[in-house]
Amino acid sequence: MINNLPPNTVERLSLYRRVLLNYPYEENPFIHSHRLAHLLKINPAHVRRDLMLISFTGDIHKGYNIKKLIREIGEAIDCRYVQKVAFVGIGDMGRAVAEYFNNVNSKLKVVATFRINNEPATQFLDVKCYNIAKMNEVLKKEKVEIAVLAVPQSFANEIAKAIVNAGVKGILNFTSVYLKVPKSIHVENFDMIAKMEKLAYFTNKDFCPAG
């Protein structure tokens, strides 16, 4: 792992890896920064700077070796041990993510989902879905470090507090609520409503594109 990478670089490195894993690298083992940037609709200068930060260099004519790059990104951002993840609310999404991580990134493992209604317990892959009453017990027993929070607004802070008390260090917050947690807890806000309102702005019939 390379320490002190900028947050946006870490996020983009994760994106590069995902795009490259879907890229036909058996036929084209090399890729240029501008091609990779184009696939992600970002600036090629970002790609070059991010890869410089992990000391990855390409061939000036052929570009970057894709297989090597995938491996080096893993070396740079993946944890050396397996970090456990739980989903609180939003069971369906937990399943889709569990599927990806179980196949690709073996350093993140979804170990539990929790539902806040009273539907019967279910299981998907290896992931059990528990009632939220069991949350404290399961998070502690499994030593979960990361939780995804997707519960109704009115419960958000109460449940976030319980998650932190159970030892979780990072929260991916899908709610629209600003979470009041200690500074040592890393929160990533993933704001669906702002994205929807942005989409509405650019798709509505009154909108006239520039130019």
SS3 labels along 61-124: CCEEEHHHHHHHHHHHHCCCCCEEEEEECCHHHHHHHHHHHHHCCCCEEEEEEEECCCCCCEEE
Identified binder of its own copies from the candidate list 59, 75, 137, 191, rule CB under 8 A: 191
User: Judged by CB, which is closer to its own copies: 133, or 196?
Assistant: 196
Q: Among residues 59 and 188, whose Cβ is nearest to its own copies?
A: 188
Pick from 74, 98, 94: nearest CA to 2: 74
Task: Name the residue nearer to its own copies (CB basis): 60 or 203.
Answer: 203
Asked if 147 contacts 86 with a C-beta cutoff of 8 angstroms, the reply is yes
Site for its own copies in 34-53 (CB under 8 A): 39-40
Are 158 and 97 spatial neighbours (Cβ–Cβ below 8 Å)?
Answer: no
Candidate residues 37, 66, 90, 127; the one interacting with its own copies per rule CB under 8 A: 90
- Stretch near its own copies under the rule CB under 8 A, chosen from 29-37, 56-64, 95-103, 129-137: 95-103
Q: Within positions 117 to 176, which residues make up the interface with its own copies, using CB under 8 A?
A: 145-146, 148, 150-153, 169-172, 174-176
At its nearest, how many Å lie between its own copies and the CB of residue 87? 10
Binding residues for its own copies, total number by CB under 8 A:
74
Residue 83 touches its own copies, criterion: CB under 8 A: yes
Q: Counting beta carbons within 10 angstroms of the beta carbon of residue 36, is it exposed (0 to 12), middle (13 to 18) or buried (19 or more)?
A: buried
